[in-house]
């Protein structure tokens, strides 16, 4: 059973998520000229929260299966294996993050 402190943290995180999603929805609805109700934003927030919980459990399982206590890049790539578009974006981003090997200095 979660402690009161854990429940309070979860509520703060959900509130922050609701605020962020609300900002994104507001920007997008202004751009396309439609309205979104607070109920829509709340439902979208709950859906995203459920997805975050599911993904976090999968990532924890992958790292535990590999004998690690920390989630690694390989875990995220394994999670994205069924979404080709996401996997391509992540692979591209990973390549930009990897340091390039410096070329060896040449003698003259």
List, for residues 12-40, the tens digit of each pLDDT value.
999 999 999 999 999 999 999 999 999 99
Q: What does the buried/exposed string (b/e) look like for 19-39 if buried means 16 or more CB atoms within 10 Å of the residue's CB?
A: eebbeebeeeeeeeeeeeeee
pLDDT attached to residue 57: 96
**Rounded to an integer, what distance in angstroms lies between the CA atom of residue 6 and that of residue 66?**
28
Q: Is pTM, for the whole model, over 0.85?
A: no
pLDDT digits (tens, 9 = 90+) for 50-108: 999 999 999 999 999 999 999 999 999 999 998 999 999 999 999 998 876 555 555 55
pLDDT attached to residue 41: 96
pLDDT attached to residue 105: 55
């Amino acid at each position: 059973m979660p402690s009161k402190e854990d429940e309070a943290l979860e509520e703060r995180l959900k509130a922050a998520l609701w605020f962020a999603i609300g900002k994104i929805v507001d920007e997008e609805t202004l751009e396309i000229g439609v309205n979104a109700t607070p109920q829509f934003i709340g439902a979208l927030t709950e859906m995203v929260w459920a997805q975050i919980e599911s993904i976090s459990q999968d990532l924890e399982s992958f790292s535990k299966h590999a004998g690690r206590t920390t989630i690694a890049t390989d875990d995220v790539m394994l999670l994205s294996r069924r979404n080709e578009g996401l996997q391509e974006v992540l692979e591209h981003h990973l390549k930009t993050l990897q340091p390039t090997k410096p070329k060896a200095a040449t003698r003259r």
